[in-house]
Amino acid sequence: MNFKRSCITGMSITVSLMLSACAYMPTSGPTAKSVVRSGEQIGDQAAAKAAENLEQKAVIVDMDAHISSVLGQRSQRRLFSETWRDSVEPNVVGSGDVLEVTIWEAPPSVLFGGATNAIGASNARDVKLPPQMVNQDGTIQIPFIGAVRVRGRAIPQIEKEIASRLSRMANQPQVMVTPLKNNSSNVAVIGDGGLSVNMPLTAKKERVLDAITAVGGKISSRTSIQVTRGSTVRSLPLLSITQDPRQNITLRAGDIVSVLNQPYSFVALGATGQNNELPLEAGGITLAQAFGRIRGVNNNQADAAGVFVFRYEDADTVAQWDESRAREPHGQKVPVVYRANLRNPNTFFYAQNFVIQDKDIIFVADAPAWKLQKFLAMVGAIVSPFNTFSSSVVNSTNAVNKVEGW
């Protein structure tokens, strides 16, 4: 009996020590209260002092219909067709282009005279001038009339001017201008993996997909196409262009088309069905889709009210729900934690508009009872050997007592 009492006493001491150390049990991350508490310090003296030390406190934002709508609209990309008017413009000549000029003169040829026939009349004569490159000043040289301005003009306009100026000296001249080399009306196409081409524009009116075909390379669901025209830059997923012909816009001279295969990804941590870094398509995915990919939350471990998305947002965006951030410099990044409560059925509607961005972290906190479950499992693992050993000792003692006649 004394031994059994000693075992029980030792077990009680052990349990007491474990209870005191319960707060230090390992977890998969901060609790929901810890996350919220770290953001609630904004605006108080602690946050002001931290700001002086160039430390930023996170802004805690509860996910609701307004938040998901604002973020959903902001994540929608400007379409090519909305940014640029898909108008067909005539091809024009530029400096560096190589032109060939052919001139016909009706008989009797006066300026470009040829052989005469039996009655003394000269036959019609054509003269093909040597190929010429358009000068930096935008002109070419034509015999008898000198410099002709061709830069920025279409081929029919050039032919008409040359014929008009020659008509004062030649007999009913006709002119044909043939572009031999297009050095000015090009589109730079930059492919994935260092591939690039300088694609000339022709009368076909090449479009975005023509440029992608010209450069070749590997494409996938993560491929996005970026078009730079002047100071304006727009990008769309390749899938959006192939599914919507309006986005396959006509290219213009000087455009830059880039084929991007960026390694966009997000990270899932905590009480999720899968802790991992997962890739993102070029078009992005919603929070609802992300939950599907990480196999939801761990039903035995997760706090359904403690689902968080960590990201850096522009101060201009955060200022819409935190006026104190309006004083931040333009372009300043602010740490934001979006909180989703999966116990609220409406959250699943909000999650369909909430777009996951590159480098986002989805974290699901442990339920408060999860520590207790782990503690009880630990206690059970320690108490079980005591019970087994104690029972064996008692049984052995009883057997000895019976043998000795006690």
Domain parsing of the chain, residue ranges: 32-77+264-369, 98-181, 185-260
Q: List, in order, residues 6 or more apart from 262 with CB less than 8 Å away.
A: 222, 224, 282, 358
The candidate with the shortest Cα–Cα distance to 286, out of 354, 386, 385, is: 354
Given pLDDT bands bounded at 50, 70 and 90, which one contains residue 385? low
d(CA 191, CA 215) in angstroms, rounded, equals: 6
Q: Does domain 98-181 have CATH number 3.30.420.310?
A: no
Q: How many C-beta neighbours within 10 Å does residue 18 have?
A: 14
Given pLDDT bands bounded at 50, 70 and 90, which one contains residue 32? low
Indicate if the pLDDT at residue 264 is higher than 80: yes
pLDDT score of 26: 53
d(CA 305, CA 290) in angstroms, rounded, equals: 17
pLDDT score of 391: 55
Model pLDDT for residues 87-138, shown as the tens digit of each residue: 767 778 888 899 999 999 888 777 776 544 544 455 567 788 999 999 999 9
DSSP lists the bridge partners of residue 173 as: 105
Give me the mean pLDDT over the 372-379 stretch.
Answer: 54
Q: 200-209, 246-255, 335-344, 380-389: which range is least confident on average?
A: 380-389
DSSP lists the bridge partners of residue 126 as: 104
pTM of the shown model: 0.60
Indicate if the pLDDT at residue 345 is higher than 70: yes
Given pLDDT bands bounded at 50, 70 and 90, which one contains residue 314? confident
Domain 32-77+264-369: give its CATH superfamily.
Outer membrane lipoprotein wza domain like (3.10.560.10)
Q: For 96-135, give one letter per residue: b (16+ CB within 10 A) or e.
A: bbbbebebbbebebebbeeeeeeeeebeebebeeeebebe
Q: Does domain 185-260 have CATH number 3.40.640.10?
A: no
Highest average pLDDT, of 63-67, 166-170, 173-177, comes from: 173-177
Q: If DSSP codes are grouped into helix, strand and coil, which group holds residue 56?
A: coil
